[in-house]
Amino acid sequence: MSLKVVSTNKAPQAIGPYSQAIIANGMVFTSGQIALSPEGEIVCSDVAGQTEQVLKNLTEVLAEAGSSLDKVIKTTIFLDSMDDFATVNEVYGKYFSSHKPARSTVAVKTLPLNVKVEIDCIALID
């Protein structure tokens, strides 16, 4: 099995020893994306704006890998508070309106850089 590292400057670079995504066996496995601009700055303080940026980042990483949101099989959402569940769902639903991948949502104590939401995914390659 060969592994291919995915890297794009249209999404924030990894802030640790990991890749934006890895391609293996016709699938792309993304690292969790947080609300950073491609330049590495936190874009918003509210969870709706952060979720928008996270999904934009995922879109760019998937595109670089030769995939897209409509090829996503599974997402995992990490929230710093389940109080934000409905708001995140509302934004998420704009990106996954007709295609609804499998999903897990978990609350965690804190996220990198104290953001409110992080999302990763597994998708098929076109």
Reading the chain (126 residues) residue by residue, the pLDDT tens digits are 789 999 999 999 988 899 999 999 999 999 999 999 999 999 999 999 999 999 999 999 999 999 999 999 999 999 999 999 999 999 999 999 999 999 999 999 999 999 999 999 999 997
Question: Measured on CA atoms in the order 2, 71, 44, 8, is the torsion positive or negative?
Answer: positive
In this prediction, residue 16 carries a pLDDT of 87
Three-state SS string over 58-120 comes to HHHHHHHCCCCHHHEEEEEEEECCHHHHHHHHHHHHHHCCCCCCEEEEEECCCCHHHCCEEEE
**Residue range 4-124, CATH number:** 3.30.1330.40
> For residue 23, how far is the Cα from the chain centroid?
15
In this prediction, residue 112 carries a pLDDT of 94
Question: In 3D, which of 102, 105, 100, 98 has the Cα closest to residue 119?
Answer: 105
Q: In angstroms, rounded to a whole number, what is the distance separating the alpha carbons of residues 106 and 80?
A: 9
pTM assigned to the model: 0.96
